[in-house]
Structure 1
Amino acid sequence: MLLHSFSVYKWPSSLLRSLSRCARNFIWSGDVTSKKLVTVSWRQICAPKNEGGLGLRDLSSLNTTALLKLGWLIITADSPWSIYLRERFKLHGRLYSCSYKRSSIWPGIKSILHILFQNCRWVIGNGSTTSLWVDKWLDKPIVDVVGATEIAPSLSRTKVSNIIRMGKWIIPSIFSSTFPDLTNEILEMPLPIDEDNDVLIWEVSTSGVFSFSDGYEIVRHRFPVKSWASIIWRPFIPPRYSILVWKILFNKLPTEDQLQRRGIPMAPICQLCYKNSESIDHLFSSCEFAQCAWRWLATQFGTSIPLTSSLSNLWLDFLSKRFSPHLRNVWLASGFFLLMAIWKMRNKVKFEGKPPSFSRLCRSTSAWIRQVGALTPGHVRGILDRQLLVSLGISPNSSKAPSIVPVLWHPLLFLGSK
């Protein structure tokens, strides 16, 4: 019953906001009533992963998409209920009235009609269904091209079939002289051999039929594609590590400076060095403890990292290392683990009073490297990378030998040849 209501009614925006708030609170705190102070915006969370989101769906956009699907079925299906609603609401192409109608579902349908008709297009058959001036059967409706704000009722009832004779375009001279560009566009459009009925298609779909996923892509909020998105979401990296890096990239970890900025009185001191204010850049990059950790990790892989006060610069240098695919994946997973280990150690100091232990961090990271090395894909190129993986306690993945298929060919024998 709930899904049916969601699919035929436009839900109040206050209800959708309340449900989204509960979902947001549950994701960040595990409790629908508990709100966290430092969070990524819900709209960003509902973006696809390649745009920096978590791939969730926004309830408001889902409701709009469900109404789009209902509207599509009403104007295209031949079932008794769709024919009834089409006549009930007088939905014949773009010529529809937004006036009040005594129907509980009409407000929802009315709210999406402009989106629906903007993304639909008529494919001309015999032209008897499509309005010449109002419907979209060219790149744009003719009434929009000529810039008319109003159109006479007699013209609005003119069909495309009025300019078709015997399977050919017959353009009135007054139209062709007034709108030469439109005339050329019409004449370049081929007409079908058989005079079939006009067909309404969904333009953004390759099949021409509305799909829920295509509809959602139209109504959802879009963000720029993030270059780092393909890096943090890897199948061999545990999601909680990817989520931590995702929060770091958005600067949404509850560090001392973030909490102070939101009105919590505190001295934002770093919990690992007690020398500087705690921020994401300091905690993971310029803190003495973090720099020792990055320096140690680099030596395990036989390389070095220029240590700076900016985490973004450190991360760029980290990703720029050129290893063979298997070793590069292990290197990437190790960096994710080190960020998580630093964050966990900071929390143990802050909430449990345990002093930071560099040796414990090194042992846990070494164990993680051995564990993740058996799960990471890719192959090894070069003797140095192979020896490095062995020194880390990882069995190298050898590249598959090429499969050579023998081709047995004999010259063709033709009759009469010697």
Structure 2
Amino acid sequence: MTSSRSQMIAGMLGFSAGTFPFSYLKCPIFKGTKINLWTDNWLGNSLLELLQIPLAIHNQLRAIVADIIADGALLLPAAALMGPTAPLLDSLVWLHSSNSKLTSKLALNFLKPAVVNLPWAAVIWKSCIPPAHSFILWCIMHGKIPTDENLRRRGCINVSICSFCLRTDESYEHLFLHCPFAKNIWLWLGGLLHTPFDILSFAALLGSIPQNCSSQIHDIHLAAVIHSLHGIWMARNSLRFTDQTASLHSTKVHILVAISFSGNISTGKCIVSDANILDALLVSPHNRRVSDILMVYWKAPLAPWIKLNTDGSLIGSHAACGGLFRDHRGSLLGAFVCNIGTSTVFYAEVYAFLLALEYAAQNGWRNVWLESDSTIALLVFKNRSLVLVLLHNGWHNVCNQGIQIISSHVFREGNCCAYFLANMGHTTQGNVWLSVLPQTIQTDFFLDRSGFPRSRLP
């Protein structure tokens, strides 16, 4: 960005040019008549920086972006930016904003970055688990539990030894995971719940809780971990500070009673195969009512409409997307997968819409019924300002292709084929068009075409 433009914007916003983070401003290409080809950061960085052009010739570089645009396309062989096919006004946008606007929230985040969210923090607090028990796990995960090791770090002088095994110093990893007393509890608990617990670390311990199970069983597993940690801590304190002796048997009994209590007041639901675990823990089954179970169908469109199902996938910070086109008979017209790279799930969902509509325009499909399981992403069809800045030009282009679009939401159970295609995108390079579906998706495709219902459990 030129110094004169920086001063102009600083004057408009009331900031001094020296303190205002101008590197966050970016110019998307529209007409390009007001964007300097060399000095403005329309590619994220200016060409002066990208090409390391000598300072001596900077004043001679006066070309604008419009000079290299012909018929809506950039005349740069290596350019990775899509220009609009219809004229748009040039505009300055905020680089790290989803809607191109600078807000006070973004300014605050720039000055004071947000605290990283811990994945376990929202999981350990449940209405069926006493907060005092969850607090023990919270202290452990933050390294704040007052074991001998932590007390020495705070300046307390003590002689440390494990109260259970009397073999080594007391650290919170040893006390809760590696001590023979703790190992016996985790082995007993794993046999009771038919789940082997990984006691290599506390993160691994929480990761041992099964995810693909009924909600009541998931609550029971979480409660079992938290109550066991609480039970070990209380047994340790009993040995340290009272005349009572906490045996392994009495600790197990207290843990079992607490698990049974949490399982009975859990609001989760169970399935028939959970009966053995629930009976062993003396927990009443919370069966689903038939009225709570939804039957989800994939519905074919009426001719001449084309049905388009898309989905986005995020593994870690790596995004991918996929989708498929079907006609009024449910026959496959084509499918696509795309490896996006580092991004967000919202970007992946919206990019799947954009890519799919581009494919529809290329194939001459002008009546498209788009279906997705992301209600948030579908809002871009009602409010175009929600489209991410980096997709503005592409979205503007597909909206001028003369495609009539109907958008609707479907549950994941009715979007299985697109879901599997999106996951497949993580193993591909770039965009891939498929004329034939992979063998792993053929069964779900046949079930959709046959009108076979899928059950969605609450």
For normalisation by structure 1, the TM-score amounts to 0.52
Do residues 331 (structure 1) and 221 (structure 2) align?
A: yes
1:338–1:365 Cα contact (<8 Å) kept = yes
Q: Give the Cα separation in 2 of the matches to 1:218 and 1:286.
A: 42
One-letter amino acid of the structure 1 residue matched with residue 49 of structure 2: D
One-letter amino acid of the structure 1 residue matched with residue 18 of structure 2: K
Q: Give the Cα separation in 1 of the matches to 2:196 and 2:296.
A: 45
Pairwise CA distance, 1:341 = 2.7
User: Hey, what does 1:210 align to over in structure 2?
Assistant: 102
2:29–2:83 Cα contact (<8 Å) kept = no
Residues 323, 152 of structure 1: alpha-carbon distance in 2 compared, 3 angstrom cutoff: closer
1:133–1:155 Cα contact (<8 Å) kept = no
Pairwise CA distance, 1:154 = 4.5
Pairwise CA distance, 1:136 = 1.6
Q: Give the Cα separation in 1 of the matches to 2:143 and 2:52.
A: 48
2:190–2:197 Cα contact (<8 Å) kept = no
2:198–2:208 Cα contact (<8 Å) kept = no
Q: Which has the larger radius of gyration?
A: 1
Q: Give the Cα separation in 2 of the matches to 1:286 and 1:162.
A: 67
- Structure 2 unmatched ranges of 5 or more: 298-458
User: Hey, what does 1:160 align to over in structure 2?
Assistant: 64
Do residues 278 (structure 1) and 179 (structure 2) align?
A: no
One-letter amino acid of the structure 1 residue matched with residue 246 of structure 2: S
2:197–2:205 Cα contact (<8 Å) kept = no
- What do you get for the CA RMSD once the two structures are aligned? 5.0
One-letter amino acid of the structure 2 residue matched with residue 397 of structure 1: H
Do residues 193 (structure 1) and 87 (structure 2) align?
A: yes
Residues 145, 293 of structure 1: alpha-carbon distance in 2 compared, 3 angstrom cutoff: closer
Within a 5 Å distance, the mapping from 1:86-235 to structure 2 comes to: 92-94=4-6, 106=16, 110-117=18-25, 120-125=26-31, 127-128=33-34, 130-148=35-53, 150=55, 154-155=59-60, 158=62, 160=64, 163=67, 181=77, 189-190=83-84, 192-193=86-87, 196=89, 198-212=90-104, 232=124
Pairwise CA distance, 1:147 = 0.9
Do residues 394 (structure 1) and 299 (structure 2) align?
A: no
Q: Give the Cα separation in 1 of the matches to 2:73 and 2:213.
A: 68
Q: Return 332-341 or 284-293, whichever deviates more.
A: 284-293
Percent sequence identity is: 21
Pairwise CA distance, 1:255 = 1.7
2:193–2:221 Cα contact (<8 Å) kept = no
Do residues 266 (structure 1) and 164 (structure 2) align?
A: no
Name the one with the larger strand percent: 2
Residues 146, 314 of structure 1: alpha-carbon distance in 2 compared, 3 angstrom cutoff: closer
User: Hey, what does 1:379 align to over in structure 2?
Assistant: 269
User: Hey, what does 2:255 align to over in structure 1?
Assistant: 365
2:30–2:83 Cα contact (<8 Å) kept = no
* Secondary structure of the corresponding residue to residue 254 of structure 1: coil
Pairwise CA distance, 1:280 = 1.8
Q: Give the Cα separation in 2 of the matches to 1:215 and 1:94.
A: 17
Pairwise CA distance, 1:313 = 9.8
Q: Give the Cα separation in 2 of the matches to 1:93 and 1:191.
A: 27
Residues 303, 97 of structure 1: alpha-carbon distance in 2 compared, 3 angstrom cutoff: closer
Residues 404, 127 of structure 1: alpha-carbon distance in 2 compared, 3 angstrom cutoff: closer
One-letter amino acid of the structure 2 residue matched with residue 271 of structure 1: S
Equivalent pairs counted in the alignment come to 292
1:257–1:268 Cα contact (<8 Å) kept = yes
Q: Give the Cα separation in 2 of the matches to 1:144 and 1:91.
A: 15
* Secondary structure of the corresponding residue to residue 52 of structure 2: coil
Q: Give the Cα separation in 2 of the matches to 1:311 and 1:153.
A: 56
1:295–1:304 Cα contact (<8 Å) kept = no
Q: Give the Cα separation in 1 of the matches to 2:182 and 2:176.
A: 6
Q: Give the Cα separation in 2 of the matches to 1:404 and 1:189.
A: 44
Residue among 129, 132, 136 paired with 1:244: 136
Pairwise CA distance, 1:312 = 5.2
One-letter amino acid of the structure 2 residue matched with residue 116 of structure 1: Y
For normalisation by structure 2, the TM-score amounts to 0.48
Residues 248, 290 of structure 1: alpha-carbon distance in 2 compared, 3 angstrom cutoff: same
- Structure 1 unmatched ranges of 5 or more: 1-74, 76-89, 407-418
